[in-house]
Amino acid sequence: MSQLLEVSGISVSFDGFKAINNLSFSIGHAEMRAIIGPNGAGKTTFMDIVTGKTKPDEGSVLWGDLSRNLIGMNEAKIARIGIGRKFQRPTVFEDQSVFDNLMIAVRNDRSPLAVLFFRPKTKDNDKVHELASTIGLSQELMRKSGELSHGQKQWLEIGMLLAQDPKLLLVDEPAAGMTLGEREHTTDILKEAAKTRAVVVIEHDMEFIRRLDCKVTVLHEGSVLAEGALDHVTKNQDVIDVYLGR
């Protein structure tokens, strides 16, 4: 698998504390990857660095054909070149319908009001319906987003991110607060998304990760502690000591 993202020797300190410590690993094109590790391991900081929110003290993050270094690029530019990020709490326009939320994302409008004033193009309409089908919300298109369940809001936000066609989607704890059925549907959505783009998921729920059926990277103290199939890393004594056995 050719590489899409190559993190190489990155370190970052906050007030002298090394949150990321010489971290190196890569993600392939259209690869699904889970990142696990104890609280404070550096998982969120890793995503902050890739999306340009935090600048590392050293190291590089190479992208695409690995000729571009993302370090130093601002967040807006990094989003434009194809990196989407989903935070834990869903952020959708609660007063607008599911359809309008998806349309806003498809058209990449800064103002949600714009969809009220311009007739959508047919191709944008088709794209909204296609996205709604991918996230399983075709029956909910006319509902106000604020009325959706927690799980449905999460799917809607994933749909809004997919509307931008990112090459890499970073997802932070998607299963948190979901029912078992919602978690299963979420893995299906992410697996579908990963057919055409890389998807990196931070998650603590081992059953969820098992269903993702992907390579797992275990972070600890800002570095990679172990990497491989879930069954492989969960048998690693270091991983049991710092994460699973507690």
Interface residues toward ligand ADP, by CB under 6 A:
14, 19, 37, 39-45
Instruction: Give the nearer residue to ligand ADP in terms of CB position, either 14 or 87.
Output: 14
- In the bound complex, what is the minimum distance in angstroms from residue 16's beta carbon to ligand ADP? 10
- In the bound complex, what is the minimum distance in angstroms from residue 73's beta carbon to ligand ADP? 19
CA–CA gap between residue 52 and residue 37 (Å, rounded):
22
Instruction: Give the nearer residue to ligand ADP in terms of CB position, either 42 or 90.
Output: 42
CA–CA gap between residue 71 and residue 8 (Å, rounded):
11
* Secondary structure of residue 6 in the 3-state scheme: strand
Instruction: Give the nearer residue to ligand ADP in terms of CB position, either 19 or 92.
Output: 19
- In the bound complex, what is the minimum distance in angstroms from residue 37's beta carbon to ligand ADP? 6
Cβ proximity of 76 and 151 under 8 Å: no
- In the bound complex, what is the minimum distance in angstroms from residue 200's beta carbon to ligand ADP? 13
One-letter amino acid of 205: D
Instruction: Give the nearer residue to ligand ADP in terms of CB position, either 134 or 236.
Output: 236
CA–CA gap between residue 199 and residue 188 (Å, rounded):
13
Say how many C-beta atoms besides its own lie within 10 A of residue 9's C-beta.
12
